[in-house]
Amino acid sequence: MLHNHLLTFKTQGPIAVRNITPDVQRFVQNAGIRQGQILVFSRHTTTAIAINEDEERLLEDLSTYLTKLAPPTDTYLHNDLELRPNIPEAEPRNAHAHLMAITIGNSQTIPIIDGALALGTYQSILLVELDGPRSRSVLLQAIGMHLV
């Protein structure tokens, strides 16, 4: 059986991480899936989905690392808005955030075993905001069996 759900969040920013593991686990439990898998998919080009440790200092390191990798102050062709057709008036210069998101990725698939996410001891599902603050949505799509 297939189940879909849309999570919505107001993120902080410009780079911020939100642990969405409890939201995903709650959806799996409410869907009644005992064995299967769940896709966690960001519907934005400047957010990412990661599985890693939700530890404050590591998350600060992540922000520092990403900023070094794609500094917001560097020159990017994507930010030449006057050279791009059909750009909305309030379009941000956010090429750095797109590059960061491409580096991390926009989805993760997690096994469901006995009704629980099969994450390791220190693993959490993290929504990584790279161009916030904004309103964001994450699509959850679970497939599996409802065994008794």
pLDDT tens string 62-94:
999 999 999 999 999 999 999 999 999 889 999
Q: What fold is seen in the domain 2-73+94-145?
A: Jelly Rolls (2.60.120)
- Tell me the DSSP string of the chain: -EEEEEEEEE--SSSEEEE-HHHHHHHHHHHT-SEEEEEEEE-STTEEEEEE---HHHHHHHHHHHHHHS-TTS--GGG-GGGSTT--TT----HHHHHHHHHH-SEEEEEEETTEE---TT-EEEEEESS-S-EEEEEEEEEEE---
pLDDT tens string 6-52:
999 999 989 999 999 999 999 999 999 999 999 999 999 999 999 99
Query: Residue 139: pLDDT above 70?
Result: yes
